[in-house]
Amino acid sequence: MQKQTHMKQYILLFIAPFLSLAASAQSMSCCSTTSTERFAMLGTDKSFAAGHADPLPFHLATGNGKMITFPTTDGKAANAYEVRSGKESNRVIFMFQEWWGLNDYIKQEAEKLATELGNVTVYAIDLYDGRVATTSEEAGKYMSETKEERIRTIIRGALTHVGTKAKVYTIGWCFGGGWSLQATLMADTQAAGCVMYYGMPESDLGKLKTLHADVLGIFANQDKHITPAIVTEFESNMKKLGKKLSVKRYDAVHAFANPSNPNYNKEYSDDAHQLVLAFFKEHLK
């Protein structure tokens, strides 16, 4: 019995350092994961996919914009759907897709916003490099496979494309909601206003401290992933840093403002859109 006890103690002493290293690595992995990476991981979450019914078919008929390409520093080309202002303007809006990709619904939103605001050019930026999902399985695959550095390279390419004199506004939904905020952070002093619909907020206070633009956040109280608790923490962080954040919460599910979603809530979506227009018009002055 005494020999067995000594043997157990020896084994525990031997493996303890390895257990400590494993725990440390796990902790580092958790803490080093960015907000954008955490959201991308939801692509493999079955409950998240279940909250996204396959989009209703839609084909954009107007075609007031056009697809463009611009170079990126990794040697690849990036894509965007461009809807130009009727006259020369240094005001641009970067629009970011939901997890489906740059589909005709997003292109329609770009045309709609450009028409309603007038003196602004809208770029609906393709974060999936040409891939567009028509099922939640495809969308989950594309979102989980995205590389953060590639997306940041695309955004940097878009910033180079519009030039240093451009005033940059952003808007996005779901996956693109988080990237709307990230693009605003990347735009630095060129940033002029950010709208994010039910996207993952940035939780790093050091990053939020560098924010140079006001933010309008639109969220859903029934969202099981971008939860009310996450939104409240975001509000608290922004307040601590003296950053201006306006939040509107609706008693709705995630993606309630997407007309391709069978759970689309027109009343809430229309109300949110009016807030968006008011926000942009105020900051476009």
Rounded to an integer, what distance in angstroms lies between the CA atom of residue 245 and that of residue 194? 10
195-218: pLDDT as tens digits: 999 999 999 999 999 999 999 999
Q: Which residue has the higher pLDDT, 220 or 6?
A: 220
Indicate the helix (H) or strand (E) that contains 128: none
Domains of the chain, by residue range, sit at: 1-32, 34-284
Classified by CATH at the fold level, domain 34-284 comes out as: Rossmann fold (3.40.50)
Report angle CA 150, 154, 159 to the nearest 5 degrees: 145
Strand partners, 66: 82
Given this model, what pLDDT does residue 17 score? 40
Which tens digit of pLDDT belongs to each residue from 73-112?
Answer: 999 999 999 999 888 889 999 999 999 999 999 999 999 9
User: In the chain, where does DSSP find H-type helix?
Assistant: 2-32, 35-41, 46-50, 104-117, 136-145, 148-162, 175-187, 205-208, 228-240, 266-284
For residue 52, the model assigns a pLDDT of 80
Which pLDDT tens digit goes with each residue over 225-260?
Answer: 999 999 999 999 999 999 999 999 999 999 999 988
Number of CB atoms found within 10 A of residue 10's CB:
10
Tens-digit pLDDT profile for residues 136-172:
999 999 999 999 999 999 999 999 999 999 999 999 9
What is the pLDDT at residue 8?
A: 47
> Residue 55: its pLDDT value, please?
83
Q: Which pTM value belongs to this model?
A: 0.87
Residue 122's pLDDT band, with cuts at 50, 70 and 90, is: very high
pLDDT value, residue 118 = 92
Please give the pLDDT value at position 206: 97
Range scoring the smallest mean pLDDT among 51-65, 121-135, 144-158, 196-210: 51-65
State the pLDDT confidence band at 57, using cuts at 50, 70 and 90. confident
Give the pLDDT band (50/70/90) at residue 24. very low
Query: What is the rounded CA–CA span in Å between residue 152 and residue 269?
Result: 29
Q: Is the dihedral of CA 284, 250, 228, 235 positive or negative?
A: positive
Helices H / strands E in the chain, number of each: 10, 8
3-state secondary structure 234-246: HHHHHHHCCCCEE
More confident residue, 117 or 5: 117
